[in-house]
Chain A
């Protein structure tokens, strides 16, 4: 059985890559062309897109385990990179600030987009 937050692979992945075009859930900005990123499974914590400010300064996070792996940042159609936090930058929609949609690793220069945080079209 899939965990609730997990998405069915066969609907989104073909030949190990994203089968569909990836867009922003909120404004529809195009993020990745179809078949431009590798599907990978890895456990990674990401801050929630909306932070509840009533809970003080602590960042609320969730564990995500399905990502699209993008080796070259110029593969993205449209994407924003935040300032560096620890060893990475967070990815955001290039048009509406929505995010983190994933993260960028400073050391490897690779990017990872969370499947659950984007729209597949």
Chain B
């Protein structure tokens, strides 16, 4: 069957337990009584299709399990990922301080040119806030990473964050293509196939055993 998309990006959500990674990935639900079969097993990843400047982009977004600590997330985990959302909780100082540890972990284990973005989640909980927006912005400037405060609860900036990260990856990819191929002799589909070959060895069976 012919390829029905232009780009495929693998994204990862990372951050301390309880910051809201799973809530960001799914539509927020506080209905604890709605015990669906799915929520008891938990979601590994999802595929979303978005339109970016006329291109059809498939996002494969991986959640990370709560017990996971930056010490235990290693190369195998990051393999193939092109974008990482670093999430902290604005009502939890510790989760903010740990962003630096997460970044160090990414630098040690992920591919050097992975796109990153910092999300300060739960910004709807202003009364409980421990980390000001300014401190988030400051950290982002320090690392030269994009930053936005989000609320999974109010669906605030969540879409924006994924589109922004995806757009940055796409821009980086197109730049690389231009650098390595003379104009005219290239196509998005071409590049995509090359990437898929690369990703093959990381069958997500092997990834699952890591989880």
- Report whether A78 and B49 are in contact in the complex, using a CB–CB cutoff of 8 Å: yes
Are B38 and A100 interface neighbours, CB within 8 A? yes
Interface of A is mostly: loop
Residue contact A80 to B42, C-beta cutoff 8 Å: no
- Residues in A63-121 with C-beta less than 8 Å from chain B: 71-85, 89-90, 92, 94-100, 106
Q: What is the CA–CA distance of A97 and B35 in the complex, to the nearest angstrom?
A: 10
Q: How many A-B residue pairs have CB under 8 A?
A: 90
Q: Chain B, interface size: which category? A: 20 to 34
A76→B49 CA distance, assembly (Å): 8
B185 at the interface (CB under 8 A from A): no
Q: List A residues 5-50 near B (Cβ within 8 Å).
A: 27, 30, 33, 36, 47-50
- Cβ of A51 and Cβ of B38 under 8 Å apart? no
In the complex, the answer to whether B47 meets A94 with C-beta atoms within 8 Å is yes
- The reply to whether A73 and B37 contact each other, CB–CB distance below 8 Å, is no
A79 touches B46 (CB 8 A): yes
B211 part of interface (Cβ distance < 8 Å): yes
Contact A83 B43 (CB under 8 A): yes
A90 touches B38 (CB 8 A): yes
Report Cα–Cα, A98/B34, bound state, in Å. 10
Instruction: Choose from B29, B36, B60 the contact partner of A49 (Cβ within 8 Å).
Output: B36
Q: How far is the CA of A81 from the CA of B48 in the complex (A)?
A: 12
Complex CA–CA separation, A100 to B39 (angstroms): 10
**Contact present for A100 and B37 (CB under 8 Å):** yes
